[in-house]
């Protein structure tokens, strides 16, 4: 699968026996990321059979406890397992200081190196990129400095049309990579064969946008335009819209408006307030604006 998302936790600040605060595991084009790390993340990783060693980068949206209080425990467990590969952590300025202090006062020594990437910009910026995927911030508005993240798969190599290639004697094995890269082929006599006649298009790249705690912020729409999958917080229903504005959170209807305006393929609602005992009300409210909406739940796995 090009993209696989596992919801480890999707509820607001107070952990309960059946609900965990925010954390997600994302695999995209064979890169493996942890997004937020609320309390209990390690338990959920074990429960849903995610190998700790797969996680190469962790993205923390903001410094409210329900989004990062599980981080120091996970960092320590990595060391107990004698992790050797470096770990990259992206999050607001201050996260490095907090983590280093916890390790220092606990006289803890890690078996691997942590590389912190502290974020301060209030504009969208690319914070990680390789030949497989890019990750950029989505500036949000909450009570503390907060970012969402957009993950985009890179366009892959074209697939060889072996049947067509076998009919051209001039093409050798050493030419295959150029064809995969999209280049036309020039025969020995100077004739040019279009790449499209010798290869198949690759599948369209997948994308995922994670919008953590935020008030209704329509100016993020251009950043997340037409993503395949959008997670957007929906702490409240419209009956608590005044409280949403006061606490700088969103309602289910507001999240649906963002999804509708951005023309995304699918919306996932999460970060539900414990005030509500019937979470289907969030879905009922959202689908009046954006039909392709689902509710997050612990253990939910979405594959594209």
Is 261 annotated as catalytic? no
> Quick one: which of 68, 66, 254, 217 has its CA closest to 141?
217
Residues 6+ apart with CB under 8 A from 161: 197, 198, 199, 200
Count the alpha carbons within 13 Å of 151 in the hemisphere toward its beta carbon.
26
- Residues pairing with 126 in the sheet: 136
Q: What is the residue-wise DSSP string for 281-295?
A: HHHHHHTTT-SSEEE
Distance CA 198, CA 188 (A): 16
Q: CA–CA separation, 2 vs 203, rounded Å?
A: 9
- Is 50:77 a contact under the CB 8 Å cutoff? no
If one counts every other C-beta atom within 10 angstroms of the C-beta of residue 105, the result is 8
Instruction: Determine the Cα–Cα distance for residues 95 and 62; give it in Å rounded to an integer.
Output: 9
CB 216 within 8 A of CB 180: no
- What is the rounded distance in angstroms from the CA atom of residue 35 to the CA atom of residue 26? 7
How far apart are alpha carbons 271 and 254 in whole angstroms? 14
- List, in order, residues 6 or more apart from 59 with CB less than 8 Å away: 33, 34, 35, 36, 90, 91, 135, 149, 210
Q: Which of 36, 66, 184, 213 is catalytic?
A: 66
CA distance 145 to 8: 23
Helix (H, G, I), strand (E, B) or coil at 138: strand
Enzyme catalytic residues? 66
């Amino acid at each position: 699968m090009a993209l696989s998302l596992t919801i480890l936790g999707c509820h607001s600040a107070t952990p309960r026996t059946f609900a965990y605060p925010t954390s997600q595991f994302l695999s995209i084009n064979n890169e493996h990321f942890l997004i937020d790390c609320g309390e209990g993340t390690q338990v959920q990783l074990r429960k849903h059979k995610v190998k700790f060693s797969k996680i190469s980068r962790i993205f923390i949206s903001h410094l409210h406890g329900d989004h990062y209080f599980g981080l120091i425990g996970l960092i320590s467990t990595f060391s107990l397992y004698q992790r050797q590969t470096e770990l990259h952590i992206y999050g607001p300025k201050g996260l490095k200081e907090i983590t280093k202090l916890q390790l220092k006062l606990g006289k803890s020594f890690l078996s691997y190196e942590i590389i912190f990437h502290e974020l301060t910009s209030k504009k969208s910026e690319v914070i990680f990129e390789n030949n497989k995927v890019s990750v950029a911030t989505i500036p949000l508005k909450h009570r503390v400095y907060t970012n969402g993240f957009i993950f985009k798969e890179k366009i892959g190599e074209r697939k060889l049309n072996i049947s067509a290639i076998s009919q051209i004697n001039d093409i050798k094995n050493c030419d295959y990579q150029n064809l995969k890269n999209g280049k036309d082929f020039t025969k020995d006599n100077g004739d040019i064969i279009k790449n499209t006649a010798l290869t198949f298009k690759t599948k369209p790249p997948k994308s995922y946008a994670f919008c953590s705690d935020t008030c209704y912020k329509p100016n993020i729409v251009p950043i997340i335009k037409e993503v395949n999958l959008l997670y957007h917080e929906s702490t409240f229903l419209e009956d608590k819209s005044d409280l949403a504005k006061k606490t700088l959170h969103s309602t289910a209807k507001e999240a649906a408006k963002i999804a509708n305006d951005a023309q995304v393929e699918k919306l996932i609602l999460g970060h539900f307030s414990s005030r509500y005992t019937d979470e289907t009300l969030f879905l009922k409210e959202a689908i009046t604006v954006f039909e392709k909406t689902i509710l997050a739940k612990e253990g939910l796995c979405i594959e594209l």
